[in-house]
Structure 1
Amino acid sequence: MGYTDDEILKMLPPDGKTTLDKLAELAKKAVDEGLVEYGILHRPSKGAGFYATLLEFGTKCYNPETGNLMLDEPALFKYYQWHADMVKKGVIPLEPPAWMIIHATFVEGKTFCTLASHVGTPGEWKEKYGLTDEALENDLGFLPFPPSVKDGKPISVHEFAPYVITSQCKHPDIAALLIMLATSPHACAIHSAHTLRPPYRGSALENPLIKDNEYIQRTATSA
């Protein structure tokens, strides 16, 4: 679109200190100029990634004092209204395409921005969609999910993996032990090494499996 690398960094800084509307503005410009087929794509199905986009609008999903999930109607209305407005502007399609198309069009440069993925997805893009190391380094950029309002707090470059033990669980202690083992630093490092996803625990970054992985170390700082 004629912007220099420095101009892009100012509009979409790696620390995510911009707004969702700024991202949408650039996405619309890319669509209007015929540079991409899609402006912004989001998940076509349920998943943890939706939680990050809910947080962009300040949505409260959990009450830490009671331990209960909650329905934040005002924030959810803003969330859905923004998506409806983006559909009307042609930034987001009325219905998202299938996963295969979402991934392929982004790797091929036909989608300006994907909210359906995160910094851990390039592992899949390399394996299934032909993403090269050169393209990953020079053509793709990542930033935390930006807030919907100016001066809001960026969310993360990663999705979230909540673990829940329900009140109906017959063996909560065993369930808690399984969660502890599944989220140990070593387990996180193994997962990162195979997927390129930053570990959920910072201590895992010192694990020999990923300690020298430049991509994981670089993206983990904002995860």
Structure 2
Amino acid sequence: MTIFKTGTTALVTAALLGGAATGILTAAPALAQETVQLEIWSRQDVSGPLRAGNVVKAADMLNAALEEEGSDVRVEVVVRESPAQGFDDDALALLRAFGIGEGPDMFIAAHEWICAFQQDGFALKLDDYIEKYPEHFGTIFPSLWDSTRCPDGIYGIPQDAEARMFFYNKKLLREAGFDEDFITAMPERTLAGDLTMDEVIDIAKQVVDNTDAEYGILHRPNVGPDFSMVFGAYGNDFVDPETGNLLINREDLTAAFGWFERAVNEGVIPANNTSMDWDAIRADFYANENSAFWKYGIWDLGSYAFPTFGLPDDEEGFFADWGWIAVPAAEKGGQPSTLTHPIIYGVAADTEHPDLVVRLLGYASDAELNTDHAVTTTHIGIRPEQLEDPRYQEAWPLARATQLLEIAKYLPNEPQFADLNRILYTAIQGVESGRLTAEDAAEFVIDEAEGNLDNVIIE
């Protein structure tokens, strides 16, 4: 056991539940007659340490409020850290902990898992609490609440947001023959529904044909949320709004696979993209300028583009030679989009102190604390008032990308979507390698879903 002390806060770590660590962080005044320990489950996530850290800080804020109210109760926060490598594995570990009665009072999870906790009776419905505490939750972006919603209500509190887009290299577009007016107009044309998904392929092909760039479009090389951007552009929401069950539309699915098929056939997406290395992909786009487009997320600028590959980190310098567009519509006049993937706070259904937990998470969602997280991890904030913070304005990728929340889409809050997403990725690999046509890929996904998943609706 190791104890770290900083001021009035102590951190105790110990092995728990197969390698998880527990930290007791205490800021309760000595005169309190009752100290309530509230436990939060969090991944050991270097990309977001303040997701749990802000809850620890919020304990001081809640205790100050309780003291002002004349209450004898004070809270201290216990952080239980999971060593899970990703949010899917972490959610499964947490579900097992709840299943054996070892669940925490609150937890951090990727939003698409919240209804798994709701269905198993492990998550507290929050609609009444959100209405009760408008001072904490009233200004959170309305669209973000959709990411925490199950068929019968809200079960989570948005902790952050993000935006995923097509980054592009303006220097390569100029070299390929596109004039400055065309290049400058691309973002607004996209938002207006004028620039389409197929036009992205056309632009990328012109770059490949007329420059030394080897690639037109690069995407992540492993399974992940990003591919939902393309599927969403072609109408695939993957969830039935009435039942909350997974829904697959054969026509829309085929159309989305058709985009990947055309991109590979045109020599734009490399056939081996799914077997490439992350570092090599980033280097090809940012450093080697070997691709016109890179389909990924806003955090990549602060995490890699600026510190690792030396792209200009000032707004004017970046947009002189680089840019991004939202995910275009499939057809002219259609709706562009972005994919956002909020991480959320959940509250255990059986916590003994639901009101205290919700208030604690309300303070953790304070604009200043959330901006601390946003600017240090290049994630988008949860409140419009954060746009007024000089730190947020200085972190210009966040300020610029926040506008995309108005057209944001989400992964389905359906427990089986992670399994469906792996099936979709396998089909993409088949299409890009030439083993499957778009039609074959759609049939493969439908067959696998019907054979391995429950209650899937096929249209």
**Could you say whether these structures have the same fold, taking a TM-score greater than 0.5 normalized by the shorter chain as the test?**
yes
Displacement of 1:59 in angstroms is: 0.7
Provide the residue aligned with 1:111 in structure 2. 291
Query: 1:181-200 counterparts in 2 under 5 A?
Result: 185-186=367-368, 188-200=370-382
How many angstroms apart in 1 are the aligned matches of 2:380 and 2:321? 20
Q: For the Cα contact (< 8 Å) 1:119–1:142, is it kept in 2? A: no
Deviations 1:173-204, CA, capped at 9 Å, x for gaps: 76995987876645542332013333354343
How many angstroms apart in 2 are the aligned matches of 1:200 and 1:51? 22
* Residue identity opposite 2:306 in structure 1: K
Q: Where does structure 2 lack aligned partners over 5 or more consecutive residues? A: 1-175, 406-459
Change (3 A) 1:216 1:164: closer
Partner residue of 1:141 out of 306, 315, 323: 323
Q: For the Cα contact (< 8 Å) 2:368–2:386, is it kept in 1? A: yes
* Residue identity opposite 2:235 in structure 1: G
- Asked if 1:6 corresponds to 2:181, the answer is yes
Displacement of 1:94 in angstroms is: 0.9
Displacement of 1:128 in angstroms is: 2.2
How many angstroms apart in 2 are the aligned matches of 1:70 and 1:222? 26
Deviations 1:41-100, CA, capped at 9 Å, x for gaps: 122112222222221111122223222232233212111122112111101111212211
Q: For the Cα contact (< 8 Å) 1:121–1:197, is it kept in 2? A: no
Q: For the Cα contact (< 8 Å) 1:63–1:69, is it kept in 2? A: yes
| Identity fraction in percent | 27
Provide the residue aligned with 2:395 in structure 1. 213
The RMSD of aligned alpha carbons is: 3.0
How many angstroms apart in 2 are the aligned matches of 1:104 and 1:45? 17
How many angstroms apart in 1 are the aligned matches of 2:242 and 2:365? 24
Q: Which structure dedicates a bigger proportion of its chain to strand?
A: 2
How many angstroms apart in 1 are the aligned matches of 2:224 and 2:369? 21
Change (3 A) 1:143 1:65: same
How many angstroms apart in 1 are the aligned matches of 2:370 and 2:180? 34
Q: TM-score, normalised by structure 1?
A: 0.81
Provide the residue aligned with 2:46 in structure 1. none
Change (3 A) 1:68 1:39: same
Query: 1:144-159 counterparts in 2 under 5 A?
Result: 144-156=326-338, 159=340
* Residue identity opposite 2:313 in structure 1: D
Deviations 1:107-143, CA, capped at 9 Å, x for gaps: 122110111x123321022122222336523111111
Displacement of 1:22 in angstroms is: 0.8
Change (3 A) 1:130 1:212: closer
Displacement of 1:38 in angstroms is: 0.8
Change (3 A) 1:35 1:195: farther
Give the match's secondary structure for 1:63.
coil
Displacement of 1:212 in angstroms is: 4.4
Deviations 1:134-188, CA, capped at 9 Å, x for gaps: 65231111111111211111102x53337698xxx9x347699598787664554
User: Which range moved further: 86-95 or 49-58?
Assistant: 49-58
Change (3 A) 1:180 1:93: farther
Higher Rg: 2
* Residue identity opposite 1:104 in structure 2: A
How many angstroms apart in 1 are the aligned matches of 2:280 and 2:261? 22
How many angstroms apart in 1 are the aligned matches of 2:219 and 2:257? 13
Give the match's secondary structure for 1:141.
strand
Give the match's secondary structure for 2:220.
coil
Q: TM-score, normalised by structure 2?
A: 0.42
User: Which range moved further: 203-212 or 79-88?
Assistant: 203-212
Deviations 1:19-58, CA, capped at 9 Å, x for gaps: 0111110100100113411101122112222222221111
User: Which range moved further: 174-183 or 70-79?
Assistant: 174-183
Instruction: State the aligned residue count.
Output: 216
Q: Where does structure 1 lack aligned partners over 5 or more consecutive residues? A: none
How many angstroms apart in 2 are the aligned matches of 1:119 and 1:36? 23
How many angstroms apart in 2 are the aligned matches of 1:189 and 1:55? 29
Partner residue of 1:128 out of 308, 319, 325: 308
